[in-house]
Chains A and B, each alone.
Chain A
Amino acid sequence: MSLIRRLRYRFMKDVGAPLLMGLSQKTRKRGARKPNPHFGPNLKNSRRLKEIMARHYFLSRYAQGAKPVAWVTSGAPVELLRAFDFYTFYPENHGALCGAQKVGPELCSIAEEHGYHRDLCSYARIDLGACFSGMTPVGKLPKPDLLFASNNICQTVVYWYKVLAYHWNIPLIIFDTPYNFEEITEKDTSYMVSQFKEMIPTLEEISGEEFNYERFLRIIRIAREASITWGKVLGTMKARPAPMTIFDAFGHLAPIVSLRGLPVALNYYRSLLGELEDRVEKGVGAIANERKRLMWDNIAIWYKVRDLSDTFAKHGMNFVTATYTNAWAETVPQLDTNYPFESMAKAYSLVILNNNLNHRLELMQRLIKEYQVDGLVIHSARSCKPYSVGQYDLKRLLMKRLGVPSVIIEADITDSRVYSEEQTRTRLEAFFEAMGH
């Protein structure tokens, strides 16, 4: 790592980023949006969230050469990398951001021009489009020294990272998590633990740092605490009215995905939790008139979050839980500093998408009961096969077992070209009717 780049990174972290955030706040104040009558007051912490994520992306521009940079999949055990002080960048989070800013189709098209089929995951196509063109709404992406992928969320991320590894001729470390067709076994766990131990010399070589066990334990502790706090944040939505909508949570998810294991994420969720608990105490709801409570299944439709949020709020319907946001609260709390590698193997291999569909069904049943859910909206996402294959049966079984009405929206996470406004409207109208509106 170069000394000049380190100094520049340090300067940007201590001086440049705070300055920029201050300027950005002033600009934002001038352009504040009108309040929407269907919603409660905005969350104060939303501003802080924007600052944290803007700072993260801003600093990523200066990380190259100052710190070892790793691109990491959202479900990978990043705690191990943090012990070597990697600057971690999350292409999936960047994909979501591009989707929300509605530049998904443009970046996907660039990847398609390079031969990547339109049927492929749109997070991957956005990322490849950004790599090939240098275009991104965040200014610049840091070139990685290492790629770190875990197939606990899908096999797709590994195929995608293989493309990146070849493109840049850099190492790709795969954390292989055997799929839990029935139950995770001790053999599975010991296989995963062996992989961690095999990774350490490679991480030492790339980062130029020795593995510091004490630091690793500290990171595990912070990650665990942040995940527990994130779970409590989500848990506030059990209250009636819920103090937040799941559409808010899709945004507030970013630190637990991208900054897991860092104090900034933990501090942020503590602050957010405080605000939400205060709202619950005062009976302040996220939407003005919460008549029905819904659950969301699958990743968000990033380019439609605002529209869908408005549509449902107008009908007095609030999304109070989602399998997606729950994923980062479900297993990471199992991290245990007494058995860091074993607990990390279990925490990361037991995530929703690495589990059989019975597990998902039971989880959804539990969430429906705990959050007093009246209806379910299922996003069938072309990009995400492990999340989507099985949803038709889930819908049928949840109706049969719990009598919960549901609707399936056929769409995509970031590629709006496959979204049919007409078809979605028709389906939602039928759903609203079934829900008694």
Chain B
Amino acid sequence: MKELGTRKDYLIEQKEKKGRKLFGVFPAQYPKEILWAMNVLPVEIWDPPLTITHANEHLQPYICSVVSLGLELIVQGKCDALDGFLFPHTCDSIQNLASIVYNYLGMEKPCYFFYHPKASSRDSSRAFYREQLTGLISRLEEQLGPLDKSELEKRVHQGQQIARVLRELYDLRARGELDASNAEFYKVIRSGEYLHPDDFLPLLEEFLSSAKGSGSSGKAVVLSGILPNPLEILALLDELGVRIAHDDLLCCGRRLPAPAGSAHDPLEALTDSYFAMPPCTTKNSPVNARINELLSKIEQTNARGVIFYIVKFCEPELFDVPQVSGELKRRGLATLVIDCEVNQILTGQVVTRVEAFAEMIS
């Protein structure tokens, strides 16, 4: 498979050679197809490899490292090449971070905010989401000029193709028919956080054709949480012969849309796609829905347990875990709850707990 260059080189090329605008996008749910259609490349900011030195002047130590590192990236001046920011409304900390950046840092770049409904089972939520899409388009048009409807249709279709290949990859992985380590799999999947769809789709297709075949027969688990960071966790599971057969990660599996519906209108298709995504803590999905989703993934993969890999101080996740893991335990499944700072080296204690868990599910 073609080696991915550095993220930085890729982004410079996108800006300078392809003439694309670059937007820094904070986690997690947003209509990336609209940005693509406006020749904007969304560059997601989850876990920049930095040490926090400046963000502490703005944020308390009890704020999660995804938020702190994102702000660190900005205050260290590493976002200077970006043309704007988009803040989806994911949690209280990202909400206030958006306001700090927009109101207090004297940022001259445009900042956009995207609110998605938090009571998603109502009719009004659907109508509101659709209005949020049109509202975002209007605001972006002020900076970027009018949206070409046919370009949006093209990008929505491309997004559906990406989702189709991703689903196929996940299905193969669930059946143990994908010859890729945990680390390799997530390296490819997560490259979608910054690759343009014109590059991401071929990469996924190439990965699919090269990795399709007999995969690891290791013990299957489901990984739940925000993101698989630090990467050592993936390497450790590989070493222990544990295969992440499916995930319930905010940055990956929870953003995987269901197969495209029959909608022809691109905004309708985006709305369908949003509401058909798996349950998520950041959308206030009921605990039952999350349990059922995990049980379905466990059944699909024959997983023997679930690892809840939580970013320290992440309230949406931490509130759900006791009931979700409790129900899984009642059903005889193994569970392991780990909370870690992003980019932190795995401690000996965490390694031991993961090893003990791997042994338990053998």
Contacts and interface: CB of A to CB of B under 8 A. Distances in A.
Interface string A357-381: 1100100000000000000000010
A120 B318 contact: yes
A151 interface: yes
Contact of B284 (A119, A162, A182, A194): A162
B114 to A, nearest CB: 9
B288 interface: yes
Interface in A102-139: 114-117, 119-121, 124
A195 interface: yes
B206 interface: no
Contacts of B115: 178-179, 181
A167 B323 CA distance: 8
A124 B318 CA distance: 12
A358 to B, nearest CB: 4
B102 A159 contact: no
Contacts of A167: 323
Interface on chain B toward A: helix, strand, loop, or mixed SS?
Answer: helix
Contact of A185 (B58, B95, B135, B325): B135
Interface string A175-207: 110110110010100010011001000000000
Contacts of A154: 92
Contacts, number: 150
Contact of B119 (A114, A160, A176): A176
Interface in B51-80: 57-60, 62-63
A151 B122 CA distance: 16
A75 B88 CA distance: 23
A174 B119 contact: yes
B326 interface: yes
Contacts of A410: 60
A95 to B, nearest CB: 15
Interface string A374-412: 000000101001101111110001000000000000100
B100 A120 contact: no
Contact of B59 (A155, A160, A194, A389): A389
A356 B313 contact: no
- Of A124, A159, A198, A358, most buried by chain B (CB within 10 Å of CB) is A159
Given A116-B318, A119-B318, A159-B319, A176 B117 contact: yes
Contacts of B98: 181
B99 A385 contact: no
A166 B63 contact: no
Interface string B82-123: 000001010111011111101110000000010101110011
B21 to A, nearest CB: 20
B182 interface: no
A191 B128 contact: yes
B91 to A, nearest CB: 6
A279 to B, nearest CB: 38
B118 A386 contact: no
A281 B93 CA distance: 45
A156 interface: yes
Nearest to A174: B119
B125 interface: yes
A390 B326 CA distance: 35
Contacts of B323: 163, 166-167
Given A155-B315, A163-B323, A167-B323, A181 B99 contact: yes
Contact of B339 (A117, A356, A382, A391): A117
A308 to B, nearest CB: 20
Contacts of B229: none
A322 interface: no
B124 interface: yes
A158 interface: yes
B52 to A, nearest CB: 14
Given A358-B99, A382-B62, A114 B315 contact: no
Contact of A179 (B62, B93, B113, B313): B113
Interface string A340-365: 00000000000000001110010000
Contacts of B127: 191, 194
Contacts of B319: 116, 120, 124, 156, 159-160, 162-163
A174 B284 contact: yes
A380 B96 CA distance: 14
Given A185-B135, A382-B62, A410-B60, A155 B100 contact: no
- Of B59, B113, B124, most buried by chain A (CB within 10 Å of CB) is B124
Interface pairs A-B: 4 shortest CB-CB: A115-B322, A389-B96, A181-B113, A194-B124
Given A119-B62, A119-B313, A162-B284, 8 more contacts: A116-B322, A155-B284, A159-B319, A179-B95, A191-B127, A385-B91, A389-B97, A392-B59
29 contacts: A116-B318, A119-B315, A121-B315, A151-B118, A155-B316, A156-B315, A156-B319, A159-B281, A159-B316, A159-B320, A162-B287, A162-B319, A165-B287, A174-B284, A176-B118, A187-B128, A191-B117, A195-B122, A198-B122, A357-B96, A357-B100, A382-B62, A385-B91, A385-B93, A389-B63, A390-B100, A390-B104, A392-B59, A393-B58
